[in-house]
Structure 1
Amino acid sequence: MLNAKNLVGWRTKRKIIVISVDDYGNVRLDSKKAREVMDSEGMIAENRFDALDTLETRTDLEMLFETLSSVKDKHGRHAIFTPFAMPCNINFEQMAEEDYEQYRYENLPQTYEKLEVQQPEAYKNTWPLWREGMKKGLMVPLFHGREHLNLKLFEEKLQKRDQAVMVALKNRSYTSISSVEYSTISPMAAFDFWEFDENERFHKIIRDGLDQFEAVYGYRSNHFNPPGGREHPVIHSTLKECGVNYIDTPLIKREHQGQGRYKKEFNFTGKKNNEGQIFLVRNVVFEPTEKRGINWVDFTLKQVEAAFRWNRPAIISSHRVNFCGHIDPENREEGLNALRELLNRITERWPEVEFMAANELGDLVAGKQD
């Protein structure tokens, strides 16, 4: 598989490293106390995201930035994270005031402003630090949807006063939610659907989401990766209209056609869709806190080596949860130690390596830069 996934696609003899990390800006789990309350109410942490994935804290970012700054590429540029990030979250306070009658959202700076008051030891001055990391080029956020949840499922559960959803919301969280109602919809996947015509609603959400992204992060995102990695191409035209030229997509994508019918699409970096947008396919996986019984640094290096062997850029896929320490500081330590080792070994083995953000690679593939 290491070689097979690199057989087709855009080629370069340059040793390019992109680190694409999903879920930044998203409030999934509020705090350790919230997790304990949800546990006591019978809401199970099914996975490490349910157990550990919180909005990035000041310490999370400080330690991440120190790690990224610890290496340099051939141009003297430090390592870069491309966070596929959300600009918006659930407005828990407004929903509580309105007795949870309907979905309400707020933008990320508003979320941080509230958390500075509620949890100052973790969140004081975190948003200014986020902005500083962007200014220094350590973080180049790109569009991951407006919010990291499926609104259809959320609203239907809200209407039924679903116990798990109500407990989660009252604990300023949205995690440990089941999806028994629809086999095709994950609670966290914003663009999942059951009936095909549900895609109609997504056009408005995308337009608003990209406007919100620009307001929050200070520029228009030209690159998109859907939460959960799933969307139907019917929304690509709206993304294009709103300035998105690059789409992050799986190598083999199970594309939902409605009511549980799927078709498979084979993708590769450099492939264009009907709108002329360019696909970028992640060909390296790095999930250092996922317990698979492997040495993640060694495994990831083998994938990077395979990419370079076939003259491909190494697009590393990861998630924020690997670098979260708000619930368990040891989780963050494990993830960042592995990241530091990986970056050191990459720069030692390939001194000609170049670190890039995902949209910079998109520009290179499109011929917009040298």
Structure 2
Amino acid sequence: MVENIKNILLNAKGFRSKRKILVIESDDWGSVRMPSVQAYNALLAAGIRVDQCGYNRFDSLENTDDLTALYECLSAVKDQNGNSPVITANTIVANPDYEIIRAAKFERYAYETVTETYQKYQGSTQTLDIIKQGMAAKMYFPQLHGREHVFIKNWMRALESGDEVTRLAFDNQVYGLSTTIVNAKRKSFLTALDLDNFADIKTHEVILKEAQELFQGAFGFKSTSFIAANYTWHPLHEALLHKIGVDTLQGSRAQKVPGDYEGYKTIKHYMGDSNSLGQVYLIRNAGFEPSTRPNVDWQAKITKEVQAAFLVGAPVVLSTHRVNFMGGLEEQNRTQNLQLFGRILTDLVKRYPDIEFMNTVQLANHIRASKK
């Protein structure tokens, strides 16, 4: 009850509309978190408890089976306009090139593009073809999540110093070991826009420019929204994103702000707020994460979150991660979660016959139009 009242009050502070809008934002598409069952087993055998982190246990590069199953789930549900739910698939457009990094003795970082990653891990670019089929069917809408999901400076520093666990993960082509399963006290390797000092901003400017170019090369258009890895970015990054055409900032209610100080500061945002550059903030106010939090009653939780939002006229931005729909490492993960997701979406349509499914950019444009 307390949580429900809190959600109602927070939703009431942001943008409101008479329309019942549902957006699904899903992160990490294109990234390689756990490359194979063999890598998982090797790390587990070495005593690294990858079984205790849902991302390390279940999250693999999306393949055609994953995408086909996702489309089947989404296509079975329709809103009042005959539209299926659409996944705003926030995409990482490059991954570390382990061979080049090793050849350079960990003194130089290098990456491969996401199209090269599909070729390397799956032997073809058929996955990208299936993605484009989903785009044409308006069930899959890619947006930019970053060039890679790596705090490069921090990761390379650990590799160059010979950190044993980081090197072992590297040998298995893994960068994303959760800080919850390693003993070393360090910052996450996943916070791509993290920084040690403000000189790092210049490096990020190059990274973000390349990210947009790679995104356009893969999908044929520029991304106008962006979600920072692990909700971690500095206000200075917003100007860099504005330069590459980003006018919408996805995120949670709390932005983690890095700087040349220990830890992070926090900036609070509300749905539909905008900054001095005119960029609109979209705030995630519901979530679906069964792969990493299996003991939650997700249907009951989402029902309450949607109710709290619609009660005050707020749109629902449902946060989820690719891991919840992946079956490459464990097929049951995909099967069970898609069945649950389908039941939840079907129930929402029954509860709210006037619900409307939108992608992130459509919601942002609706907010802008409503303010005129």
Q: TM-score range by the shorter chain?
A: over 0.9
TM-score calculated relative to the size of structure 1: 0.92
Question: Structure 1 262/189 Cα, relative in aligned 2: closer, same or farther at 3 Å?
Answer: closer
Secondary structure of the residue that 1:66 maps to in structure 2? helix
For residues 142-174 of structure 1, what are the alpha-carbon distances to aligned partners after superposition, in whole Å with 9 as ceiling and x for unaligned?
A: 110100010111211221233223322322222
Are 2:112 and 1:106 equivalent residues in the alignment? Answer: yes
Question: Structure 1 27/262 Cα, relative in aligned 2: closer, same or farther at 3 Å?
Answer: closer
Determine if contact 1:102/1:158 at 8 Å carries over to the other structure: no
1:62 aligned residue: 68
Stretches (4+) displaced over 4 A: 96-101, 177-183
How far apart in 2 are the matches of 1:273 and 1:180? 39
Question: Structure 1 333/278 Cα, relative in aligned 2: closer, same or farther at 3 Å?
Answer: same
1:88-103 matched pairs, under 5 angstroms? 88-103=94-109
1:19 aligned residue: 24
How far apart in 2 are the matches of 1:214 and 1:110? 15
State the shift of 1:42 in Å: 2.6
1:1-370 matched pairs, under 5 angstroms? 1-45=6-50, 46-117=52-123, 125-176=126-177, 178=179, 185-260=187-262, 262-291=264-293, 293-367=295-369
State the shift of 1:51 in Å: 1.5
How far apart in 1 are the matches of 2:202 and 2:103? 30
2:3 aligned residue: none
State the shift of 1:291 in Å: 3.1
Range moving further from structure 2, 174-183 or 23-32: 174-183
Range moving further from structure 2, 246-255 or 216-225: 246-255
State the shift of 1:99 in Å: 4.9
Determine if contact 1:95/1:103 at 8 Å carries over to the other structure: yes
State the shift of 1:83 in Å: 1.1
For residues 292-318 of structure 1, what are the alpha-carbon distances to aligned partners after superposition, in whole Å with 9 as ceiling and x for unaligned?
A: 533101111110111110101110011
How far apart in 1 are the matches of 2:89 and 2:371? 22
How far apart in 1 are the matches of 2:335 and 2:361? 29
Determine if contact 1:186/1:192 at 8 Å carries over to the other structure: no
How far apart in 2 are the matches of 1:299 and 1:262? 29
State the shift of 1:101 in Å: 4.2
Determine if contact 1:5/1:251 at 8 Å carries over to the other structure: no
How far apart in 2 are the matches of 1:262 and 1:187? 15
Counting aligned pairs with the same residue, the percent is 29
Unaligned runs of 5+ in 2: 1-5
How far apart in 2 are the matches of 1:267 and 1:134? 30
Question: Structure 1 155/96 Cα, relative in aligned 2: closer, same or farther at 3 Å?
Answer: closer
Question: Structure 1 254/175 Cα, relative in aligned 2: closer, same or farther at 3 Å?
Answer: closer
For residues 68-117 of structure 1, what are the alpha-carbon distances to aligned partners after superposition, in whole Å with 9 as ceiling and x for unaligned?
A: 11111111111100011111111234334545442211111111111223
State the shift of 1:270 in Å: 1.2
What CA RMSD, in Å, does the superposition of the two structures yield over aligned residues?
2.1
State the shift of 1:261 in Å: 5.6
How far apart in 1 are the matches of 2:122 and 2:371? 41
Secondary structure of the residue that 1:128 maps to in structure 2? helix
Question: Structure 1 239/108 Cα, relative in aligned 2: closer, same or farther at 3 Å?
Answer: same
State the shift of 1:257 in Å: 3.7
How far apart in 1 are the matches of 2:12 and 2:371? 24
State the shift of 1:234 in Å: 0.6
How far apart in 2 are the matches of 1:342 and 1:109? 33
Unaligned runs of 5+ in 1: 118-122
Amino acid at match of 1:18: V
Secondary structure of the residue that 1:18 maps to in structure 2? strand
State the shift of 1:251 in Å: 1.1
- Number of residue equivalences: 364
Amino acid at match of 2:176: T
Amino acid at match of 1:151: I
Amino acid at match of 2:205: H
Secondary structure of the residue that 1:3 maps to in structure 2? helix
How far apart in 2 are the matches of 1:181 and 1:272? 38
State the shift of 1:361 in Å: 0.6
TM-score calculated relative to the size of structure 2: 0.92
Determine if contact 1:142/1:223 at 8 Å carries over to the other structure: yes
Question: Structure 1 238/35 Cα, relative in aligned 2: closer, same or farther at 3 Å?
Answer: same
